[in-house]
Structure 1
Amino acid sequence: MNAFHVIMDYLPIIMDEPVTIMLTDGKTYKAIRSSEALEVDADESIGQPLDDQIMSLINKGEIFVGEYTTDITVPFKSYTIPIKGENGKIEGAVLLAKSLKRKRDFVGAFDDVKSSLEQITEAINDLNVNVQEVVDANEQILSIVEEANEKTADTNDILNFIQEISSQTNLLGLNAAIEAARAGEYGRGFDVVAKEIRKLSGSTSDSIKRVDSVLKGVSDSIKTIHTKVGNSNGVFEVQASSLEEIAASIEELNSSTQLMYGFMEKL
């Protein structure tokens, strides 16, 4: 008992957390020392009897450790350490209450960080899904654009065929005009037909040129769309890869936070 009484003055200095140390003879409080932060009025408690719960713990002869949270005090960790004499008889006990306020503050801060990381992870995962959906949609657009470009090329083949027919028709009209001229008076009616044929050929040729010009414009636009979509797809793929790396880093940070949380709970 005397040894504990001697070191009591130094325990509040040695401990990392604010503490209150009480020395008892198993029935009443004999000495109390407390850290300044706890503002315990020791004079009022010295000589006061122990309550039945504390006496029961002391009489069991075993060290008891428990954590408590009340509305009127800071959360604390309690140690009940029986003091036994040479004959093994319980002569008293050391009661120590260590403040858990700083621990709870740290745990609360870790809870906030953990919650924030979970929200960030969820947001990044959602964003990654959305980016991937855009990439998939762009792939479909690229496929459609390529198909449209191929059909435009097929249309060019058709126009070339029609242009060939127009040229042949024009040649036919020219030959008809020559034969009408040779026929003289008898070829006037045939000459009218020849002129209409050449007129139709010229009109068809002009129309083909306009259509060809439009189709070339469409083809150029399709190629531009193909290039733009391809470029944007490349950007989105890079973003998707970056998001995956960020998500992995946050997961590692979350694991570290969980580890620190476990350490804090053991304090």
Structure 2
Amino acid sequence: MIESKDEYSTSEGKVGLSLMNDRLQSIINTAPLIQKLVPLDCMIGISDREKFLHYLPGRAISIGRDIRGERLSSDDGLYHAVHSGKEHIVKLPREVFGFPFRSVAVPIHDEKGYVIGAIALGVSLQTQESLLSIAQMIVTSSQEISAATKELAQSAEELSLQQELLSRLSNEVLEQVKKTDQILKFINDVAMKSNLLGLNASIEASRAGEQGKGFAVVAEEIRKMAVNSAQSVKEIREILNIIKERVTIMNSKITQTTDIGHQQVAATEEIHASVQEFADSAQKIEDVAKIV
């Protein structure tokens, strides 16, 4: 029930006004204690049905003037609490008074239930703004890190696949080198047999005397070709041995880097998971900051 000022002008009016003043004065006296009990910076305003009776500024949150005695405006939370008889909550942005705050105004009733005034608590939202800013920054940063680690994990996976491909190719090269050894062995055998054949042909040509001179020239050329072939085979084998040695070393290194690549993939996946958990925590911080 919402009473009018006239209800305190009856034959019992003086007693009613006295009770009203006592109750409001008691709340005014309690205001400093209420302010200390609130963990955040806050200010307190107390009014009767028409005007401000008391104002207690906070440490940093303050209207900047003494408003005691000023009439309530329809914009004030106290005004709404007095005339509606209900709690009135509003958030005021920084642009209004230079600082953001949340105002909660509740009506004050006498022992008969009549509204005789109201008390408003303005709590600074500076902490909330700071928490929201930090939380949003953390969320943004963690999302960027998460995206980067995800890309890194994909790159590491691709690198690991490429290294496995190189390992297979190096193994194939080693197999081809082994096949080349067999071919060189065959050529070397042919060269040895050709050299032996040329030697026998030279012997037979010398026995033939004058008639065998032309054949002796051919036999000598065959021997030279066999010797040159054998020498070439030796040189090629030496080159192939060097290639084989280098490919073996390269294959060993590729195997090592492949193992490292697998470890890197696992590590980046773990980092990505941790960053995702961090992002989820930051989101929770942001949600909590909206409540504070």
* Fold shared by both chains (TM-score > 0.5): yes
1:10 — aligned with what? 33
**Could you give the per-residue CA deviations for residues 106-143 of structure 1, whole angstroms, max 9, x where no partner exists?**
22122222222222222212222222221111122222
Judged with a 3 Å threshold, the aligned counterparts in structure 2 of structure 1 residues 17 and 169 are, in CA distance, closer, same or farther, namely same
- Mapped to 2, the partners of 1:244 and 1:74 lie a distance apart of 44
- Mapped to 2, the partners of 1:8 and 1:113 lie a distance apart of 38
SS in 2 for 1:32: strand
Q: Greater CA deviation, 191-200 or 76-85?
A: 191-200
Q: How far apart are 1:181 and its partner, in Å?
A: 2.8
- Mapped to 1, the partners of 2:264 and 2:49 lie a distance apart of 69
Contact 1:29 1:46 (8 Å CA) reproduced: yes
- Mapped to 1, the partners of 2:94 and 2:274 lie a distance apart of 39
Alignment counterpart, residue 115 of structure 1, candidates 126, 135, 140: 140
Q: How far apart are 1:29 and its partner, in Å?
A: 0.6
The ranges of structure 1 where at least 4 consecutive aligned residues each deviate by more than 3 angstroms after the TM superposition are 39-43
Contact 1:33 1:42 (8 Å CA) reproduced: no
Q: Does 1:58 align with 2:71?
A: no
Q: How far apart are 1:98 and its partner, in Å?
A: 1.0
Q: How far apart are 1:103 and its partner, in Å?
A: 2.0
SS in 1 for 2:32: coil
For structure 1, list consecutive stretches of 5 or more residues without a partner in the other structure: none
Q: How far apart are 1:42 and its partner, in Å?
A: 5.5
- Mapped to 2, the partners of 1:40 and 1:52 lie a distance apart of 17
For structure 2, list consecutive stretches of 5 or more residues without a partner in the other structure: 1-23
Taking structure 1 as the reference length, the TM-score comes to 0.92
Task: Map 1:184-203 onto structure 2 (within 5 A).
Answer: 184-203=209-228
Q: How far apart are 1:97 and its partner, in Å?
A: 0.8
2:27 maps to amino acid:
F
1:69 — aligned with what? 93
**Could you give the per-residue CA deviations for residues 38-88 of structure 1, whole angstroms, max 9, x where no partner exists?**
344553x11111111332343222112222213232110100101122332
Q: What is the aligned-residue identity percentage?
A: 26
